[in-house]
Structure 1
């Protein structure tokens, strides 16, 4: 190919900025900057703190991969694009940029189920493999052959909570469900109710709240009147913290269990009211697993803070992706996707082994808050 003049390159850059597909620029060319992985994550907006931890997990993994020899014989390079979290337009823009400008064969993210589903029609044509921690059941059940999931889906969380409540907590039939009235909460409560029905159980009460509500007294009173002893709480972390604090203030004897009751934001806001709460959690930095503790030490040394579930999820996702690229022996998207079916990796969240549908993890931890810290009670796999 003849060298282009400066004006030609400026026109190409302008075309890229307009979102045009640069089919003439092959992977590994000057424009792609030799990047093999593009990352779609929130860098601005209300989910930016999630994105910070997500990015740090990726960066730590890249450092370790390169220290061990890199990918396809070269140092692994990644590029980051801002998807603004659960913003579907932001995610579509980020995914298009990764595919059209950076032209990487692998993309990590988008993370949120709503943005995964909104972008699958963009990337499921086989131009890139998406490796995500999104937990919505449809993510790997929609016919897309180019998505890889590294966390177990919402069904596993719900089933693990109900099984644990029955077998270990002896909760019997006095279980209620309290959920956020949005896609996250409605999906979670539906799966909890379905898992209970499979065991011949029915909640004594089902209540909802709007995200960011501040007063939950009316719903808590209804749960008390219904005779609830265990409340399955499918709410966002800050809302969940206010709910357990108000229950404690009202002297209600509920035990709470849920999906986010071991996350840092919940623990900080709930304070002592979090004591005894149970959670189906993918990762906590207090897990005594030696691999987890080694990761925590390296993460704290590098970033001067403790890792969270986002850090661990996307650390694992990056290493799994690098293993698949090396196993494929190529930057060819189809070969990399096939390689995920055979790659195995003992990671922080689980031992990964991907099914043809793209699910690589069917494990979740049952965690209890003791002395203000999350303590792993058991690891549950299905």
Structure 2
């Protein structure tokens, strides 16, 4: 696909020059800052828009679309921003195939998504081989550690788990215990290890560390062990919304009294219904946060866009889209230009996060997270306090 496209009203000579630049790989490195206003910044959004992980992919899509509306209307960019969406149907092989289509057939200068760790890791293999920058949201450290073309628009898993451990250290009283429950997945096992290591460093030994295979219909064995050990806090590492909802529901049904503290699995609150009340989530952003006017605004916009349960993915995608535009504005519209722009993105004010900074050697994302508690209609900050 020709990346830079001539627009109506442009003189023939200028249009010809643009077409020549497009054949040369998407424009010169200074094209993004030319102020000509006659170019298009396209990028790929590979997302789980259907299938098991659709709650994640639809949030990604909504965040990008809302940002594009604002950025294009702002008049601050010398190009029109035009994302192209690829539905990878929550299937790893399809996510890889769509990513390959984006960077080879369509020659997109940047890929954003997919969201789920299982899908993003092999997709990053494709983009790294193609020297294409990749905006990612998944929290696994391996993504930015192994793939030098990736930039994380969220908080890394170890940041989230340190926040959870700090919360437990501050709140746990003598005679109380903490349990770890985790899915036997890369995300779940990695999170459980980080939590166990952090607790050990604080001199705390979990009363239980329970792994479970994902997508089970019945978690009664987990509940039996939790009732035997009676932990005050139950740290949950599971990214599957349906599994999180089932665990919360079956905990209530089995009389488990511990306080659950888990990851923000998009859609889990909605699926769990009343059983989610009191659930604590660690996340870099919460919807309908009364202390953050931007959160209220974004939440309303995401709901209007069809996201019934807006979460951090939509908010981070909003900021990521701005980051792509800022990088292209500063350096240009090619893949190499956007990479250079992202590597020098310093203190960019976001709408979801106060600021974003990336360098060539630091692409990990945010350095802190927050724990919020669901009260049935919204979130209240539980940690840090004060």
TM bucket normalised to smaller: 0.7 to 0.9
The 5 A counterparts of 1:138-287 are 138-142=142-146, 144-168=147-171, 170=173, 174-235=177-238, 236-260=240-264, 265-287=267-289
TM superposition shift of 1:255: 1.4
The 5 A counterparts of 1:1-382 are 26-27=25-26, 34-69=40-75, 71=77, 73-85=78-90, 87-125=91-129, 127-142=131-146, 144-168=147-171, 170=173, 174-235=177-238, 236-260=240-264, 265-288=267-290, 289-303=292-306, 305=308, 307-328=310-331, 330-343=332-345, 344-347=347-350, 348-355=352-359, 356-378=361-383
CA contact (8 A) 1:173 1:202 kept: no
After superposition, the C-alpha distances for 1:41-100 in whole angstroms (9 at most, x for unaligned) are 1233322343223212111111111111264x1211221122233x33212211111112
Question: Which range moves more in the overlay, 363-372 or 318-327?
Answer: 363-372
TM superposition shift of 1:379: 5.6
SS in 1 for 2:257: coil
After superposition, the C-alpha distances for 1:294-341 in whole angstroms (9 at most, x for unaligned) are 22233344558563333212112111111111121x123233222223
* 5+ long unaligned stretches in structure 2: 1-21, 29-38
Aligned partners of 1:301 and 1:252: how far apart in 2? 36
TM-score (norm 1): 0.82
SS in 1 for 2:296: helix
SS in 1 for 2:46: strand
SS in 2 for 1:141: helix
CA contact (8 A) 1:350 1:363 kept: no
TM superposition shift of 1:169: 5.0
* 5+ long unaligned stretches in structure 1: 1-22
TM-score (norm 2): 0.82
After superposition, the C-alpha distances for 1:339-363 in whole angstroms (9 at most, x for unaligned) are 2233232320452112423123122
Q: 1:111 to 1:198 in 2, by over 3 A?
A: same
SS in 1 for 2:182: strand
Q: RMSD of the alignment, in Å?
A: 2.6
Q: 1:312 to 1:167 in 2, by over 3 A?
A: same
Aligned residues: 349
Aligned partners of 1:171 and 1:215: how far apart in 2? 33
Report the equivalent of 2:11: none
CA contact (8 A) 1:151 1:362 kept: no
Question: Which range moves more in the overlay, 127-136 or 366-375?
Answer: 366-375
